[in-house]
């Protein structure tokens, strides 16, 4: 049985993009794998966080993951800072990864923006911590959205250099799992930008906690074009907003974009949007309700996270201790 690891930042309420690009796949993988899912609060610190807000969002994200259908008893749900093995291995990886490798990371360039000098050092070494998250468990398969592909390649480069430099075969190669027709959900306001919890406009995204009215309004106001929906997927080319909405419908109805077009070809957005809104409400309502229920009992939620961290540490501690021994750290 292969071990799965994935992480998500507690940087806001999870969006439809997080759900379709990540969490929904996490749920689906539980049948065949041992799964470890982590709320990466240390990664969130790479950008400024209000302390109280970060704590609240860490609980919110954990609750959302469980509400989406991850089973924290059969698998592991925990938050990163509760297992120190991540940071211990990240330091070793800081010393393995080369500056030249980090300089190529497009996410750093995007997030640092034009004022690189003002970005935190943590943001720069972010991919090393991410590599440590995965390798601390000898996980081999990592479900993520398409935007994380480059970071996983770096994680493999780090593992290879570690194995090579220390003449060991210790860290396995990891395989990205980029799943589903909606691996990249785009903003509702701009079909060229990804839907993100950090976008200043709430109209750009569907949050997993949005009410039915909010969902309907956001879909109604979503940017589109005046053309009716085409007969075939090829007809969606150069229509990024239309392609995005069709992709969302396809993902939520467990079909393909071609299936959706077979149903809606020739119809305008006046017909398609209400159908999409209805489908969204039907699929997201139970998740929102369960999230609210879990957050209503923070004691029980914290107990789930504590138990997850204990079981995570039981796997990671011996692996990271061995990595420390391999590089020559004295164990007394
Ligand atoms: P983040 O919100 O950046 O912490 O991302 C958490 C997970 O959700 C990662 O696996 C991302 O690749 C995925 N993700 C975030 N935004 C999107 C999006 N708009 N479409 C698809 N996947 C996404
Ligand atoms: N960097 C990932 C993101 O922004 C989150 C993440 C952190 C992660 N550690 C991870 C994803 C380990 C997969 C595996 O989406």
Say if residue 22 is in the same domain as residue 139.
Answer: yes
Residue 217 sits in which domain range?
Answer: 202-293
Question: Ligand 2 center to residue 130 CA distance, Å?
Answer: 6
- The pLDDT value recorded for residue 144 is 87
Number of residues written out for the chain: 332
Query: Would the CB of 64 count as within 6 Å of ligand 1?
Result: no
Report yes or no on 53 lying in a domain. Answer: yes
- The pLDDT value recorded for residue 107 is 95
Report yes or no on 332 lying in a domain. Answer: no
| Shortest-distance ligand to the CA of residue 186 | 1
Query: Would the CB of 25 count as within 6 Å of ligand 2?
Result: no
- The pLDDT value recorded for residue 13 is 83
Question: Ligand 1 center to residue 21 CA distance, Å?
Answer: 6
Question: Ligand 2 center to residue 124 CA distance, Å?
Answer: 14
| Shortest-distance ligand to the CA of residue 11 | 1
Say if residue 146 is in the same domain as residue 244.
Answer: no
Say if residue 27 is in the same domain as residue 137.
Answer: yes
List the pLDDT tens digit at each of the 332 positions of the chain: 899 999 999 987 899 999 998 899 999 999 999 999 999 999 999 999 999 999 999 999 999 999 999 999 999 999 999 999 999 999 999 999 999 999 999 999 999 999 999 999 999 999 999 999 999 999 999 998 778 999 999 999 999 999 999 999 999 999 999 876 556 899 999 999 999 988 999 999 999 999 999 999 999 999 999 999 999 999 999 999 999 999 999 999 999 999 999 999 999 999 999 999 999 999 999 999 999 999 999 999 999 999 999 999 999 999 999 999 999 999 99
Report yes or no on 43 lying in a domain. Answer: yes
Report yes or no on 192 lying in a domain. Answer: no
24: its two tokens: 């929904």
Query: Would the CB of 285 count as within 6 Å of ligand 1?
Result: no
- Could you give the strand order of the β-sheet that contains 76-79, starting from the edge strand earlier in sequence? 76-79, 34-39, 3-8, 141-143, 175-177
Cβ burial of 68 (10 Å; 0-12, 13-18, 19+) is buried
Query: Would the CB of 190 count as within 6 Å of ligand 1?
Result: no
The residues near 240 (Cβ < 8 Å, ≥ 6 apart) are 186, 191, 192
Say if residue 274 is in the same domain as residue 311.
Answer: no
- The pLDDT value recorded for residue 21 is 83
Report yes or no on 254 lying in a domain. Answer: yes
Report yes or no on 194 lying in a domain. Answer: no
Ligand 1 atom with the smallest distance to the CA of 143 is: 10
Nearest Cα residue to atom 10 of ligand 1? 144
Say if residue 22 is in the same domain as residue 104.
Answer: yes
Query: Would the CB of 61 count as within 6 Å of ligand 2?
Result: no
Report yes or no on 113 lying in a domain. Answer: yes
Say if residue 33 is in the same domain as residue 151.
Answer: yes
Residue to probe by mutation, ligand 2, list 102, 129, 130, 195, most atoms within 8 Å of CB: 130
pTM flag (> 0.85): yes
- The pLDDT value recorded for residue 231 is 96
- CATH code at position 304: 3.40.50.620
Say if residue 210 is in the same domain as residue 149.
Answer: no
- CATH code at position 274: 1.10.240.10
When divided into structural domains, the chain yields a total of 2
Nearest Cα residue to atom 6 of ligand 2? 7
């Amino acid at each position: 049985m292969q071990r799965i690891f994935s992480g998500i930042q507690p940087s806001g309420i999870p969006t439809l993009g997080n759900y379709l690009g990540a969490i929904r796949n996490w749920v689906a993988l539980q049948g065949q794998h041992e799964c470890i899912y982590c709320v990466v609060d240390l990664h969130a610190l790479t950008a400024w966080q209000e302390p109280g807000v970060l704590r609240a969002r860490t609980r919110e994200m954990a609750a959302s993951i469980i509400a989406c259908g991850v089973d924290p008893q059969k698998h592991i749900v925990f938050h990163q800072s509760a297992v120190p093995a991540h940071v211990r291995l990240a330091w070793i990886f800081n010393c393995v990864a080369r500056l030249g490798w980090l300089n190529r990371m497009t996410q750093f360039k995007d997030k640092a923006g034009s004022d690189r000098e003002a970005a935190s050092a943590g943001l720069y070494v972010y991919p090393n911590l991410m590599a440590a998250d995965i390798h601390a468990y000898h996980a081999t398969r990592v479900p993520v959205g398409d935007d994380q592909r480059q970071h996983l390649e770096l994680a493999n480069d780090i593992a290879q250099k570690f194995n090579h430099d220390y003449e060991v075969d210790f860290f396995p190669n990891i395989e990205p799992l980029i799943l589903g027709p909606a691996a990249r959900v785009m903003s509702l306001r701009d079909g060229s930008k990804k839907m993100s919890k950090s976008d200043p406009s709430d109209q750009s995204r569907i949050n997993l906690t949005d009410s039915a009215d909010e969902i309907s309004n956001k879909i109604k106001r979503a940017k589109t074009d005046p053309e009716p929906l085409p007969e075939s997927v090829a007809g969606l080319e150069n229509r990024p907003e239309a392609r995005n909405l069709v992709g969302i419908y396809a993902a939520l109805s467990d079909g393909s974009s071609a299936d959706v077009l077979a149903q809606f070809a020739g119809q305008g957005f006046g017909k398609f949007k209400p159908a999409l809104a209805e489908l969204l409400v039907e699929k997201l309502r139970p998740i929102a309700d369960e999230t609210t229920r879990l957050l209503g009992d923070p004691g029980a939620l914290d107990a789930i996270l504590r138990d997850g961290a204990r079981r995570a540490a039981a796997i990671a501690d011996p692996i990271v201790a061995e990595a420390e021994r391999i590089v020559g750290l004295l164990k007394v």
